[in-house]
Structure 1
């Protein structure tokens, strides 16, 4: 991740090719690979929130979708 002078990391959408600012955190894990309490996070802009969530949910990986603070 790149940083600005304020030392805050850029929050960029995880969708392939998207460079928009992220507004949501999609928490997920693959139960075949990860312990139940482990969470990985994809970031999503408003335009990709639903498609990224649907991709994870179709595989049984999606755990939560939360707005970024």
Structure 2
């Protein structure tokens, strides 16, 4: 779950295990022990999994921010 998932029809799907719902949110993160400060990893999230994915990463000190999928940039991914 390290990059944006895209369904065959081009729709972004949630990165939560077993979820195939459309993603509305991008949970941006990095592991500071592995990634340089400019590195931005992305998990996509539907409305239902947005908070649990963000909480999982925040607990580990990895969460950077949560933005809308439409707000992703070329630096994300």
Give RMSD over aligned pairs: 1.0
Deviation at 1:11, TM superposition (A): 0.4
In 2, Cα distance between the equivalents of 1:55 and 1:26? Answer: 11
- Consecutive unaligned residues of structure 1, counting only runs of 5 or more, are none
1:1-69 mapped onto 2 (5 Å cutoff): 1-4=6-9, 9-69=10-70
TM-score if structure 1 supplies the norm length?
0.88
- Consecutive unaligned residues of structure 2, counting only runs of 5 or more, are 1-5, 71-77
TM-score if structure 2 supplies the norm length?
0.79
Compare CA radii of gyration and give the structure with the larger one: 1
Work out the number of aligned pairs and report it: 65
Structure 1 runs of 4+ aligned residues shifted over 6 Å read: none
